[in-house]
Structure 1
C-alpha cells in the first residue's frame, strides 16, 4: 500500500511515538486528541520530570512488567529501551541515569520530552486535531475503515491505532474510551484494576493513626494468600498513612493485593512486614543476645533503640504487652522470641487499594491473546492496532510503563505504515 492514511486516536506517550514511527515510514498521519494539548499524562510522570525509560537489559525490564511483560518480547526485538534512549538523544534531548537505572532528561522537566516528540511530529508533517473527540471507530466486516468525530465528520483511514490509555488518572483524559471501540471490534477486556496504588487497611492501629507518617527504609513487604504462602515480596521503602500503607514497596505490592483477593474470593488479604530483611531471624536473635550481655541493665526502650525506628519499637512493645521501662535482662526467652518474630514477621490485613481513578497505572485491559505481538495489530479487524495502557500490560514505576508505551507505539506505527 503506497502512503497509507494512519489515524492515531490519542496523543499521549504511545500515540505520539506511533505517529512518529508511521510518518517516518511514509504514511500520511493524523493524530486525534480530545484534550486541548497533547501529552497531559506524560507531563506529570516521574513527578513532573519524566522517567523516560530504564537502562537495564530487556529481560530485566520485562521482569519489572509483572502484568504480561512477556507479551513484549517480540516488540523488544524490533525496538527496545536502548532505542528509546537513542531516539531522544538523536533528537537533541540529553538524558542522565539515576538510581535503579531510571533515565531522565538532564533538564529534569517532562516538558523537554513532550517538546521533542511534538517537534519531531511537526518535522514529519503529522496532522494534529485537538478538542474534537472520536465518537466511534468505523469498521467493515473484517477491517477498520476510519473514525466518526464528535462534530459529525467522518475521517476515512487505511489503519487506525488506538492509543487512548487506561482508566487511571482520568483528569489527564484517560477515561477508558478505547475499550468500547475495541469491544465493538470483537475484543474482550481483562478486568480493570488499579496498580501502583496505595494499600488500604482498616486495622485498629491504622484507624487510630498510631504509625501515621512513619517512613521505614529498606523493609520487605509481602502479600500472602489464604494458605499463608507468599505471593510477592518487595524490599524497598514504605510509609504508614492514615488509610494504610504507601511508598514504593506498597505501590509495587498493590496489583498483587487485587489479584490475591480475586483469586481467594476474599474481602481482605494478609500483609507481612519484615523490618530487618537483611538479617535472618537467627541473626536478629544473636544481636539481641549481644545487647543482653552488654546492655542488660538498660530499659527495653534504651537498649533496643538502635535496632529499628523508635516509633516502631514502641509500637512493638505495645503489641507484645512489654513495659518499655523494664530492664532488658528481665525479658523471658518467650518474650525475646516474640519480639524477634514481630520484627521479622508482623502481619496485618489489607482490604484493597485506592480506586482506579486515583491509581498511577491501569491493570487489565485488551486481552493480549487477541493481538499480534509482532505488530500490535488486532487479530479480529485488519488495520486496527493497540498501544500503551489500553493493553493488558502493566509494570512497576521506574520507567517501565513508559517503556512499554514507547515500544508498543513504535511497533504499531511502523507496522501500520508498512504492512
Structure 2
C-alpha cells in the first residue's frame, strides 16, 4: 500500500498539468491512468497538430467557453493562457500563432506537446502508474483518503479527478469520473454532445448535391421555433454526406442539442454565404455584373461561388442557370440574394457524445469551489477539465480550460 500527498486520476492535459503543479508545490504525487500512454486524446487535437491554447485576452477566451466560462475567472487569475504559453516556452517548445489566435507547436505535431508534459512529469519525480484502473474512491467521514485500483489501495490526503468526459471513449474517456463524483455525493448535469457535426435529412444532403464543398468565413445561425436567433458563428463550414461540419457547424451543435432536448423534432440553421455584405449591397453588385451581359447567369456569377453550389442556389431561387444574365428580373435578384444570405437548413440531430469532440454537462459547478477546484462536499477531492460542467468551442479553448483547472487543482491539493 503506497502513500502519497496527492493522487491524480487521468493523464490527459488537465491531469498532467495537475501532477506538475502539485509536485512543484512540494507534494509527493502519483499519476494514475488506465491507458498505456499519457495524452491519448491530446494527440488527436487540432487535427493531430495540437491547438494548445489561444492568444486572445482572458475575457475573450471565456466568452468562447459558452458552457459556464464565468466559473473560471478565479482560476484564470491564478494561471492563464499566457502562463500556458510561458510553460511551454520554458520547456523548449516554440509555438506559432494561426488564425483566430490559435497556437500550435512549430513542429505541427501533437506529440511535441504530449512528450513535453510527460518529460516534465518524469523530471519532477511524479510516480506514473499506466495501465492502472481506479475502481473506487476511498472516503472516510467526509474526507478523501485515497483510491482503490484493481490490485491495490493507494492512499493520499488529496485526490484530483481528471478523467475527462465521454467524448471519444477509445481514448479512455468513458465517463468513469462521473461515477466517482456521484459516489462522493455530487450531482451530474445532463450530458450532451458539443463541438459535434450536424446531421440533416434535407433532400439535397441525402442526394449529396453539395457534398465536399467547403465555404470560407460564412455565418451560420441557430434559430428557435419562434424565429429567435440563439447563436451565430462566422467561420468556415463544410457540406458532408450526412449534413454539415467545420468550425461554424461544430460551434452551433450545443445550442441545437439544447433545443432538441426541449422536444423539437428538428432545429433550423440559417446560412449566410456573404456575411460581410448586406442584402442591398450584394444585390447592387450582382445587378452590376449582369447588366447588358448576354452570357449565362452561371458564367457571369462564377466569380462569386463554386459552380456546384452556385447552380444549386440559382435553382433554389427559381432561376435557370443557363439563361442570359441580362434577362434577370428584380424579383430574380431578390430571390437569389435571399437564398445566399438566408439559406435555411433543417438539422435533425448531431453526432452522439461518443463521436463528438467535447462533452457538454458534467459535475454541477455549485458543488465546486471556483478558486481551488475542490469539492464543497468532500474534503481533499478536486475535479478538473471536461469532467466539470464546462465546455468551450474548438480553437484551443477546451485545452486551455483543461490546463488552467488542472494547474489550480494541483496547486491547492497540496495541504
Normalising by structure 2, we get a TM-score of 0.97
The residue that corresponds to 2:56 in the other structure is 56
Distance 1:260 1:20 in 2: 40
- Distance in 1 between the 2:223 and 2:408 partners? 37
**CA distance in structure 1 between the aligned counterparts of 2:309 and 2:170, rounded to whole angstroms:** 37
Is contact 1:4–1:417 with CA below 8 Å preserved after alignment? no
**Which position in structure 1 is the counterpart of 2:134?**
134
RMSD: 1.4
SS at match of 1:135: strand
Work out whether 1:395 is the aligned partner of 2:392.
Answer: yes
Number of the residue aligned with 2:362: 365
Q: How far apart are residue 303 of structure 1 and its match?
A: 2.2
Q: What is residue 317 of structure 1 aligned with on the other side?
A: 314
Deviations 1:149-176 (A, max 9, x none): 112x111210000000000011111101
| Whole-Å separation in 2 of the counterparts to 1:292 and 1:114 | 55
Residue 395 of structure 1: how far off its partner (Å) = 0.9
**Which residue is equivalent to 1:74?**
74
Partner of 2:285: 287
Residue in 1 that maps onto 2:329: 332
CA distance in structure 1 between the partners assigned to 2:141 and 2:49 by the alignment: 44
What is the deviation of 1:308?
2.0
**Aligned-pair CA distance for 1:260:** 2.2
- Asked whether the 8 Å contact 2:49–2:110 carries over to 1, the reply is yes
* CA deviation vs aligned residue, 1:47-74 (integer Å, no higher than 9, x gap): 2221211111101111111111111100
More deviation in 228-237 or 172-181? 228-237
Q: Which moved more, 1:3-12 or 1:230-239?
A: 3-12
Are 2:110 and 1:124 aligned? no
Normalized against structure 1, the TM-score is what?
A: 0.96
- Could you tell me whether the CA contact under 8 Å between 2:291 and 2:325 is conserved in 1? no
Q: Please report how far the alpha carbon of residue 409 of structure 1 lies from its aligned counterpart in structure 2 after TM superposition.
A: 0.2
Partner of 1:84, secondary structure, is helix
2:109 corresponds to 1:109: yes
- The Cα of 1:219 is off from its aligned counterpart by 1.0
Residue 164 of structure 2 corresponds to 165
Instruction: Tell me the equivalent position of 1:238.
Output: 237
Return the alpha-carbon distance in structure 2 between the equivalents of residues 4 and 245 of structure 1. Answer: 48
Are 1:351 and 2:348 counterparts?
A: yes
SS in 2 for 1:161: strand
- 1:386 partnered with 2:395: no
Q: Partners in 1 of 2:325 and 2:51 — Cα distance?
A: 48
Could you tell me which runs of 5 or more consecutive residues in structure 2 were left unpaired when the two chains were aligned.
none
Q: Tell me the equivalent position of 1:272.
A: 270
Give the Cα–Cα distance (whole angstroms) in 1 for the partners of residues 314 and 97 of structure 2.
42
CA contact (8 A) 1:299 1:325 kept: yes
The count of aligned residue pairs is 413
Counterpart CA distance in 2 for 1:197 and 1:12 is 20
SS in 1 for 2:211: coil
Post-superposition Cα deviations, 1:317-345, rounded to whole Å, max 9, x if no partner, equal 22233222222233332222111111111
- Alignment check: 8 A CA contact 2:53 2:396 kept: yes
**Could you say which residue in structure 1 is the equivalent of 2:194?**
195
Distance 1:117 1:86 in 2: 13
- Report how far residue 110 of structure 1 moved: 1.6
On the 8 A contact 1:54/1:101 being kept in 2, the answer is: yes
Structure 1 partner of 2:216? 217
Name the structure 2 match of 1:9.
9
Deviation string, structure 1 residues 202-243 (Cα, Å, up to 9, x no partner): 011100111111111111111101111111111111111110
Whole-angstrom CA distance in 1 between matches of 2:43 and 2:298: 47
Gaps of 5+ in 1: none
